Amino acid sequence: MPTSVFNGWIGYDATSLQAGLYFILLPLLATFPYGDSYFTDITEGYINNLLIRHDKMKYLLIKFFVLFLSGAVTIILPLVISLLCTMSLLPSIVPEQSTLTFGIWESDLWADIFINHPYVYTLRFLILIFIFSGLMAVLALTVSFYTDNKYI
């Protein structure tokens, strides 16, 4: 069976070094854009200026929300670009289980959706990565409450 959109984009390709490194480094990549902002706000005294004008709870909720979005978008954007580029170059051949080229077995998560509606499966997969990446970025902010080192 020829390579199709569903086994050619980086989000599915489990055999290449690039995809493997991308998903191994995902937690680190999600925390880079904004992970140390709370610690920086405290050490530079910027938080004192903010707390004069706003409630601390409101500040923290906005900080968590922005961090969640920045971490999730940082990870999901390259995957969406890879998917769109792959969609423009490769055909959208419906996955066939008997070819054993897709690596999705009957016991896997959403396997029936992958066989019947592969684009719905891909969208769900992207949503799952979006949520996971955002939570990893929020975890970095949570750790910054308990540490005295910026890089931890």
Q: What pLDDT tens digit does each residue of the chain (152 aa) get?
A: 677 777 778 877 667 788 888 888 887 877 776 767 777 888 888 888 888 888 888 988 988 998 899 888 988 998 999 899 988 998 888 777 666 666 666 667 777 787 788 889 889 989 999 999 899 888 888 887 787 776 66
How far, in Å, CA of 4 to CA of 114, rounded? 13
How far, in Å, CA of 102 to CA of 114, rounded? 10
Position 90 scores a pLDDT of 87
